[in-house]
Amino acid sequence: MKFISRDTALAPGREAAAALAEQPGPFRVYSPSYSLPMQTAAAFNLHLADGVEPVHLAVVDQFMARAGGYGDPGFSVTIPHFDGPPESALRDVQPSLKLLGLLNVKYLAAEFPMAWEGLAAEAQIGRTFIYRNRLALPRAWVAYQTQPVQSDWLGQLESLPDVQAVVLTEGDAPTLNTPRPASAAEVTHFAPDRIRLAAATDGPGWLVLSEIWYPGWTAVVDGAPVPVARVDGLLRGVYLPNAGAHNISLEYRPASVIWGGRLAWATLLAIVAAAGIWAARATFRPKNP
């Protein structure tokens, strides 16, 4: 095992990461050339849509294969997939800026020029080209129209004229048909396991949070618990049934954690009870004459 200094570990992509960290957020960055290594991005508090991760959801692979344009939804430890040197393998691959925008990807960083429609050149820092995605959506918003999700949900998303205004819902989720643009929602606190938001609506709407849906997320709207639905194929959605100003909080509390906590308390109580019984028996044990 080789040990290196922190400065050495964070050297790759440092200047580009520092420049991006100065931009107002929240937003994500996508690199088709691994221009921002994960450790460097984390040091500058940047959120990535790409990276190296041996465990991720199949639905994320499907989405990123379409969004990144590389088309292979199979498993790989890297997102995107590289069939050659990362700095050049995807040079001629056109990403779906609409889908990347749905994931709050506001900036793209590449080791090669990208001339795709919808990108605005921002800077060249060393060998890294920085582009702004004109189709980027915010981290959260409220939509007032729904469509039932189809089997080709990725194609369905790409076909929407305004992917922010319409939310794809599943099962018996509440439906809406108010032909109006999406409205704003503000992320007031963000942590990996807890998010707080504020939104004002003049009618029922779906709060869409551009974060990956996963079992175990719970939500509270104005003090009342509500379910967290999967919307747009892989994002989190919370239904807001009434008009007005809303405070929304989401927390990750999977059943395993809840039951684990209960078992831990039960075990502790059992130990305390056993210790008490043992102490009582020892105190009142009759002495030999």
Residue 177 per-residue DSSP state: B
Assess contact for 178 and 237: CB atoms under 8 A.
no
Assess contact for 153 and 168: CB atoms under 8 A.
yes
pTM, to two decimals: 0.88
- What pLDDT was estimated at residue 2? 83
Distance CA 197, CA 60 (A): 24
Q: pLDDT tens per residue, the chain (289 residues)?
A: 788 999 999 999 999 999 999 999 999 999 999 999 999 999 999 999 999 999 889 999 999 999 999 999 998 999 999 999 999 999 999 999 999 999 999 999 999 999 999 999 999 999 999 999 999 999 999 999 999 999 999 999 999 999 999 999 999 999 999 999 999 999 999 999 999 999 999 999 999 999 999 999 999 999 999 999 999 999 999 999 999 999 999 999 986 555 455 555 556 566 766 666 766 666 665 555 5
List alpha helices for the chain, DSSP H: 6-9, 14-21, 38-43, 58-68, 97-102, 153-159, 255-283
End-to-end CA distance of the chain: 69
The contacts of residue 109 (CB under 8 Å, 6+ apart) are: 13, 16, 20, 29, 30, 31, 33, 35, 36, 128, 129, 130, 131
Between 1.10.3470, 3.30.1120, 2.60.40, 1.10.10, what CATH number should domain 140-252 receive?
2.60.40
